[in-house]
Structure 1
Amino acid sequence: MRTYQNYISTGIRWNAEMPAHWDCDKAKRYFDNPKVINKDGKEKNVLSLTLKGVVRNDVDHPIGLAPADYATYQLFDKDELVFKLIDLENISTSRVGIVWEKGIMSSAYIRLKPRVSLNLRYFYYQYFDWYKRNIFNGLGAGVRQTLSAADLVNYQVVFPPIDEQDQIVRFLDWKTSEMNRVIHAKNQEIKRLKELRVVAINTAVTRGVKGYPLKKSGTSWLNEIPENWNMLPSKRLFFLRKDKAKPEDEQLTASQKYGVVPQQWFMEQEGRRVTVVFTGEDILKHVEKGDFVISMRSFQGGIEYSNYSGKISSAYVMLIPNHEYVYDRFFKWLLKSPEYIKALRGTSDLVRDGQALRYANFAKIDLPVVPMEEQIAIADYLDNICKRIDDAIEKVKKEIALIQELKTRTIYDAVTGKIDVRDVYIPAYEDVEDETSDEDSEEVETVDEEVDE
């Protein structure tokens, strides 16, 4: 790709130069920042700025927190830019979008309305480049790192001639669509691999890997089991631990991603603090290494295994495995298998997100009694096959990340004039919208509230 012949300085620290014939000025030369509040409540079309752009918000099932009423929301018109520039330390929440229809959004959002003839999509790409390069994050102030509308319109932007804005947009729409198409195909590949993983786990923990003939299990959640397996009440396989925390115990955290781990380690891994509840030390419970833990959200991700001894919230239930029947590695797979999680969800009509599963729920589900040598064989099989699948998923995710990097670089090069696309031929192509990556679309890591020391 060729570059422009002549460049000049912009005075912008994150975009030091531009083609010599481009203009550069504060954004307020090109945009107004009107703020009209929906005081009378006439406008009912509630919009939301998400990682997928501006979308209609379902008032009955809103995205995020909903206000008591929408009289404090501000009006937006079609073909305007909207910014969410609060909490700038969290890159996933600071972003820009194009408003495609009239509606209302939170008064915390920033509205930019064009005041001169321009290609709005070009400026979307320019500000999106700021977002991807974390430019906004370095400009905010205050505890929550917030950027105001007055600040935003006083930062300089580059302004190519209109015909070049149009061509840059055509070029980027084409290039990003092509890359989105590849990313979409790779996300579908990840989806298939995850489905294969689910099938492998469910099949192995409920039917084994030896190929024995099947018989009726006598339970509602497992239709058939191998003929050499039996079913027993879960209380026979796991005993309830009621020990109170010891003074020397380390604080632990229950996590669907890592299991039960030290709270400090978890915060370092995730780069964030765990929500804590300040209350009496005497209600904490003791966990032994090798315990299985029913967390508040086990109906989402199964029952966690603890590789550590320590203390944990009284909201949790600790299970001591009866090693006459239980081989830990096999039950680590079984108690987090999709089939078992489905059974947990069916133990109570009252189980909802944020409510705790109790030992009574666990006790309603009979568990398979599997010969010990077969438990070992199943655990070995799943350790092997799932690692191979996980490795394949990681490989595809790395390929997606490389394409995303290329897309980000292409946008940066085009909107800042690092490349000259004026004479680039734009072929016919299928318009493929950006999609939330497979990684982003997964359920956010859930961690129950912990009791602080």
Structure 2
Amino acid sequence: MSFPAYPGYKHSGVELLGELPEHWTLKRFKNVFEERAERSADGLEELLSVSAYFGIKPRSESRDEGDHLSRAESLEGYKVCHPGDLVINIMLAWNRGLGFSWQSGIVSPAYCVFHVTDGSSPKFLDYLVRSDECIRYFKTHSAGIMDSRLRLYPESFGRLFTAIPPTCEQTQIARFLDHETARIDALIEEQQRLIELLKEKRQAVISHTLTKGLDPTAPMKDSGVEWLGEVPAHWDVSRLKYHSTRIGDGLHSTPEYDDAGDYFFINGNNLVGGAITISPTTRKVNRQEFLKHRVLLDSSTILISINGTIGNLALYSGEPVILGKSAAYINCTESLSPRFCLYLFSSEQIKRFFESQLTGTTIYNLSLRTIAEVPTPLPSIDEQNSIIEFLNRNVDGFDELIDNAMKLAQLLQERRSALISAAVTGKIDVRGWQPPASVPSPELVEEAV
């Protein structure tokens, strides 16, 4: 679906804004908003949070299990916001850390709260300030030397310009975007459900094959391990330590870095999708440091993350690396194929076993002893190779379908962002748009100004 441009445009005089429809008004944000100074007397109002993903919502709905509602002893003195107010996290405005609240509540004293003073539609303004163009504009005018330290102070925000259409047009733009974004969001959610279903089926194929084998007629026996269940009668079930020559982890200290070095210092986060991934931020060491801290890694080696993020996996393929403490290595004997071991560690049964053995409260750890003692269902090496070939074919098929669905979801998200930006900056004219007759018009949130 395409939409027409406006009949006429004028230059805004602001390089980052470019042209705007000729009947729109160029304003500074300080002529659209006024900062609200109201503070909570007792801190009993609903605590709200700001997110790049969902804008403003109750903190109780967005916190992770086990998180505190707030680390402050009292919320007295927190800033009050009302329905239709703009809340900005000045430290994350450059990363879309702002949005409009549609309910009364309180927010952190470090945030800024603004109410609309010029009669504009808060719903339109919410789309506007969270659009890609505005976020880039905010980042350009934020103070700081790096992203993590950027601040959009209220005075700087107030001096920035924006293009404001007539109020009735704002309402129409918001109405159009409510309808179109809801339609796109439904398509994205459909792709996300498909991705989860494909991942579940992929995982089921791996887990079933690694515990039941390829022959559905093979006699079965009790593995002797409750969570493993029955396995083919001719398979061996024994501890992993009996099928590895060495199990260890990496360096428990910091090596001497050398940006001109030819070797890399990796940790568990460098193990991605079954391979070692070197990123632009991966630190380097020189040959002397490499020789000092290297461990024996070869074609029999599988790597697994054991600290923080648990269970990332990779096969070692000769990369010039030394390991940090969050990466463990298993050197397999001739009775265990490293790729079979990699698939085994990615099965639901083994992952659940590892999860049950984790230590730590905020940062989880998987011990080398747990890895060594994990019960391992093991067919002959020939059967392992047959299973690997079967899984490679089937897993690759699932991975391709998952990748296609993820790409489509990303394209839809990009389409959503582009449509919002085009509408709120006047690149498309939606004044004549009407929702399809079969679709009820979306209800706009009641706007408090």
- Could you state the TM-score of these two structures normalised by the residue count of structure 1? 0.82
Q: Distance in 1 between matches of 2:268 and 2:70?
A: 25
Q: Distance in 1 between matches of 2:225 and 2:124?
A: 61
1:436 corresponds in structure 2 to: none
The answer to whether the aligner puts 1:145 opposite 2:150 as a matched pair is yes
Q: Distance in 2 between matches of 1:63 and 1:53?
A: 20
Q: Which of 203, 207, 210 pairs up with 1:202? A: 207
Q: Distance in 1 between matches of 2:67 and 2:311?
A: 24
**Contact in 1 for aligned 2:25/2:165 (Cα 8 Å):** yes
Does the C-alpha gap of structure 1 residues 23 and 287 become closer, same or farther in structure 2, counting only changes over 3 Å? farther
1:330 corresponds in structure 2 to: 340
Where 1:397 maps in the other structure, the secondary structure is helix
Q: Distance in 2 between matches of 1:3 and 1:315?
A: 55
2:267 corresponds in structure 1 to: 253
Q: Distance in 1 between matches of 2:265 and 2:144?
A: 32
Shift of 1:85: 4.2
The answer to whether the aligner puts 1:414 opposite 2:423 as a matched pair is yes
1:30 corresponds in structure 2 to: 32
Residue-by-residue CA offset, 1:91-120 (whole Å, 9 max, x unaligned): 6x4333221222222233332211121210
Q: Distance in 2 between matches of 1:298 and 1:18?
A: 49
Residue-by-residue CA offset, 1:35-92 (whole Å, 9 max, x unaligned): 4444x5423422111212222113884489844553464222221112234257xx6x
Q: Distance in 1 between matches of 2:331 and 2:173?
A: 63
Which of 405-414 and 119-128 deviates more? 405-414
Which ranges in structure 2 are unaligned for 5 or more consecutive residues? Answer: 257-261, 284-288, 444-449
The answer to whether the aligner puts 1:191 opposite 2:174 as a matched pair is no
Q: Distance in 2 between matches of 1:284 and 1:132?
A: 49
2:386 corresponds in structure 1 to: 377
1:240 corresponds in structure 2 to: 246
Letter in 1 for 2:21: P
Shift of 1:337: 2.0
Q: Note the 1:292-441 alignment, pairs <5 A.
A: 292-297=302-307, 300-301=310-311, 304-307=314-317, 308=319, 310-314=321-325, 316-323=327-334, 325-347=335-357, 350-427=359-436, 429=439
Shift of 1:395: 1.2
Q: Distance in 1 between matches of 2:226 and 2:205?
A: 21
Letter in 2 for 1:219: V
Which of 200-209 and 310-319 deviates more? 310-319
Does the C-alpha gap of structure 1 residues 341 and 414 become closer, same or farther in structure 2, counting only changes over 3 Å? same
Q: Distance in 1 between matches of 2:250 and 2:199?
A: 39
Does the C-alpha gap of structure 1 residues 330 and 430 become closer, same or farther in structure 2, counting only changes over 3 Å? farther
Residue-by-residue CA offset, 1:212-243 (whole Å, 9 max, x unaligned): 23221111221011122110122201243569
Q: Which of 6, 15, 18 pairs up with 1:16? A: 18
Q: Note the 1:251-290 alignment, pairs <5 A.
A: 251-255=265-269, 256-258=271-273, 261=276, 265-266=278-279, 268=280, 272=281, 286-289=295-298, 290=300
Does the C-alpha gap of structure 1 residues 10 and 194 become closer, same or farther in structure 2, counting only changes over 3 Å? same
Which of 151-160 and 130-139 deviates more? 130-139
Letter in 2 for 1:313: G
Does the C-alpha gap of structure 1 residues 28 and 194 become closer, same or farther in structure 2, counting only changes over 3 Å? same
Q: Distance in 2 between matches of 1:43 and 1:37?
A: 11
The answer to whether the aligner puts 1:231 opposite 2:237 as a matched pair is yes
Residue-by-residue CA offset, 1:379-403 (whole Å, 9 max, x unaligned): 1122221111111111122222222
Residue-by-residue CA offset, 1:164-200 (whole Å, 9 max, x unaligned): 1111111111111111121111111111111111111
Where 2:13 maps in the other structure, the secondary structure is strand
Shift of 1:417: 1.7
Q: Distance in 2 between matches of 1:54 and 1:63?
A: 18
Q: Which of 165, 169, 172 pairs up with 1:167? A: 172
Letter in 1 for 2:54: K
Does the C-alpha gap of structure 1 residues 358 and 282 become closer, same or farther in structure 2, counting only changes over 3 Å? farther
Q: Distance in 1 between matches of 2:307 and 2:159?
A: 46
2:447 corresponds in structure 1 to: none
Does the C-alpha gap of structure 1 residues 15 and 61 become closer, same or farther in structure 2, counting only changes over 3 Å? same
Does the C-alpha gap of structure 1 residues 392 and 122 become closer, same or farther in structure 2, counting only changes over 3 Å? same
The answer to whether the aligner puts 1:217 opposite 2:227 as a matched pair is no
Does the C-alpha gap of structure 1 residues 48 and 423 become closer, same or farther in structure 2, counting only changes over 3 Å? same
Shift of 1:375: 0.7
Q: Distance in 1 between matches of 2:165 and 2:263?
A: 63
Where 1:111 maps in the other structure, the secondary structure is strand
Shift of 1:293: 3.6
Total equivalences in the alignment? 416
Letter in 2 for 1:322: T
Shift of 1:131: 5.8
**Contact in 2 for aligned 1:217/1:231 (Cα 8 Å):** yes
Letter in 2 for 1:334: L
Which of 200-209 and 243-252 deviates more? 243-252
**What is the root-mean-square deviation of aligned Cα atoms in Å?**
3.2
Q: Distance in 1 between matches of 2:115 and 2:159?
A: 15
The answer to whether the aligner puts 1:82 opposite 2:83 as a matched pair is no
Where 2:6 maps in the other structure, the secondary structure is coil
Q: Distance in 2 between matches of 1:36 and 1:239?
A: 67
Does the C-alpha gap of structure 1 residues 302 and 218 become closer, same or farther in structure 2, counting only changes over 3 Å? farther
Q: Note the 1:62-73 alignment, pairs <5 A.
A: 62=67, 66-67=71-72, 69-71=74-76, 73=78
Q: Distance in 2 between matches of 1:170 and 1:310?
A: 55
Q: Distance in 2 between matches of 1:285 and 1:188?
A: 43
Which ranges in structure 1 are unaligned for 5 or more consecutive residues? Answer: 275-279, 434-453
Does the C-alpha gap of structure 1 residues 284 and 77 become closer, same or farther in structure 2, counting only changes over 3 Å? farther
Does the C-alpha gap of structure 1 residues 333 and 131 become closer, same or farther in structure 2, counting only changes over 3 Å? farther
Which of 356-365 and 312-321 deviates more? 312-321
